[in-house]
């Protein structure tokens, strides 16, 4: 490990993917700021602290719904390592429940953690009052931008890895609010079990994925700042240890939400956390990383299936799209112009 090695800032590191990523980063000889709501209660973090010096591992308390604390932690990280190269928004948890069975407080708290937390981490701009940055997700993004542009040397930039889920691409029953923060409103209409392997984290993904895409496209190339969406499939984590919401009593045994609960409880995750962490380390080092990276064959398969289905459905109903143009507009010419502009 040297003073020239990359510095990582990772949220949600007490267990699961976050802890595995911190471990692999340290093994690779790089430096890391590991944050968690209660670091002292994580046996994994405590063990790593006993093995690695503070010159390589800095563990800090952080609840990503606490925007002022996000700024404090970033300041401490910069004071300690004098730079940050990679920010990973990983903090999150799952709530499994039908839409109408989920209390507003539970739903809002999950959106605060899964969307606004990463945004706050990514976007905090120098001289912008934190009160204008919104809740947590935005605070992490704003802070990352500030460090990448004003602390790191010009052109060095940085990478933001936002941990979404394949559920951020394909929604599922009982995960509407999770999907909403990562994916959007499609879970309101999804009753299919075709994408059961995506489970657990889809509801909050569209907001997070849409934000990451816009963030990445806003960055001037000279800044060398890039956002990457990470879409894990099923991994052996404690993701589901969030609020427990009883099933809605009006839903029959054959309701999609009921069947989906049964399927997810019986499903054995195929993902390897160590391999996933190593893949993320590789992606963070790519000069021109992809917008999305799937972790796991289940994630890849679900994405390809859903993307193919979306294209097929759009082509089937394209007459509706073209039929709403103004008179005299050539739809095919518009498509040609769009293809050239969107390359």
Per-residue pLDDT reduced to its tens digit, 110-135: 666 666 666 666 654 333 333 333 44
Residue 105 included in any domain: yes
pLDDT above 90 (res 308): yes
Q: Is residue 241 part of a domain?
A: yes
Q: For residues 181 and 123, which has the higher predicted lDDT (pLDDT)?
A: 123
Residue 193 sits in a domain whose CATH number is 3.40.50.720
Q: With 70 as the cut, is the pLDDT of residue 199 above it? A: no
Q: Which domain holds residue 255?
A: 7-341
**Residues 31-69: tens digit of each pLDDT:** 999 999 999 999 999 999 999 999 999 999 998 888 889
Q: What is the pLDDT of residue 21?
A: 98
Kindly report the number of other CB atoms within 10 A of residue 311's CB atom. Answer: 10
pTM metric for this prediction: 0.79
Give the H/E segment covering residue 336: helix 331-341
- Establish if 309 belongs to a structural domain: yes
- When divided into structural domains, the chain yields a total of 1
* pLDDT tens, residue by residue, 70-116: 889 999 999 999 999 999 998 765 666 667 777 777 777 666 666 66
SS3 content of the chain, % helix, strand, coil (to 5): 50, 10, 40
2 in any annotated domain:
no
Please check whether residue 46 lies inside any domain of the structure.
Answer: yes
Is the residue at 278 inside a domain? yes
Q: Which residue do the tokens 């054995």 mark?
A: 268
Distances (CA, A) of 17 to 164, 234, 238: 12, 11, 10
Within 13 Å and on the Cβ side, how many CA atoms surround 32? 27
Predicted pLDDT at 101: 72
**Joined tokens for residue 39:** 């670091």
Percent of the chain's residues with pLDDT above 70: 73
What does the pLDDT look like over 233-255, one tens digit per residue?
888 877 555 556 777 788 888 88
CA separation, residue 120 to residues 133, 145, 278, 292 (Å): 6, 10, 26, 21
Asked if residue 222 is part of any domain, the answer here is: yes
- Is residue 159 predicted with pLDDT exceeding 70? yes
CA-CA-CA-CA torsion sign (184, 189, 191, 195)? negative
């Amino acid at each position: 490990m040297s003073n020239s090695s990359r510095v990582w800032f990772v949220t949600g590191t007490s267990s699961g993917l976050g802890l595995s990523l911190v471990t692999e980063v340290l093994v690779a000889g790089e430096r890391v700021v590991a944050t968690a709501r209660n670091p002292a209660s994580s046996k994994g973090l405590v063990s790593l602290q006993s093995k690695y010096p503070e010159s390589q591992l800095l563990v800090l308390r952080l609840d990503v719904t606490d925007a002022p604390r996000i700024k404090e932690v970033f300041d401490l990280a910069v004071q300690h390592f004098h730079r940050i190269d990679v920010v990973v928004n990983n903090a999150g948890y799952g709530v499994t429940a039908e839409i109408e069975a989920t209390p507003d407080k539970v739903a809002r708290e999950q959106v605060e953690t899964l969307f606004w937390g990463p945004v706050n981490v990514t976007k905090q701009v120098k001289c912008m009052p934190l009160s204008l940055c919104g809740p947590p997700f935005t605070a992490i993004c704003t802070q990352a931008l500030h460090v990448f542009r004003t602390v790191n040397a010009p052109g060095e930039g940085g990478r933001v890895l936002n941990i979404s889920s394949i559920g951020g691409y394909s929604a599922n029953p009982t995960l509407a609010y999770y999907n909403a923060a990562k994916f959007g409103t499609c879970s309101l209409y999804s009753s299919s079990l075709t994408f059961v392997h995506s489970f657990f984290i889809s509801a909050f993904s569209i907001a997070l994925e849409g934000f990451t895409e816009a963030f990445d496209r806003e960055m001037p190339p000279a800044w060398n700042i890039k956002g990457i969406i990470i879409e894990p499939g099923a991994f052996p984590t404690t993701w589901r240890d969030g609020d427990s919401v009883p099933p809605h009593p009006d839903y029959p045994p054959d309701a999609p939400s009921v069947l989906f609960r049964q399927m997810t409880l019986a499903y054995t995750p195929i993902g390897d956390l160590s391999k996933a962490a190593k893949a993320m380390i590789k992606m963070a080092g790519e000069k021109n990383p992809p917008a999305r990276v799937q972790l796991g064959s289940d994630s890849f398969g679900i994405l390809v299936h859903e993307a193919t289905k979306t294209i097929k459905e759009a082509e089937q109903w394209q007459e509706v799209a073209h039929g709403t143009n103004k008179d005299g507009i050539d739809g095919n010419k518009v498509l040609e112009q769009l293809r050239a502009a969107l390359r």
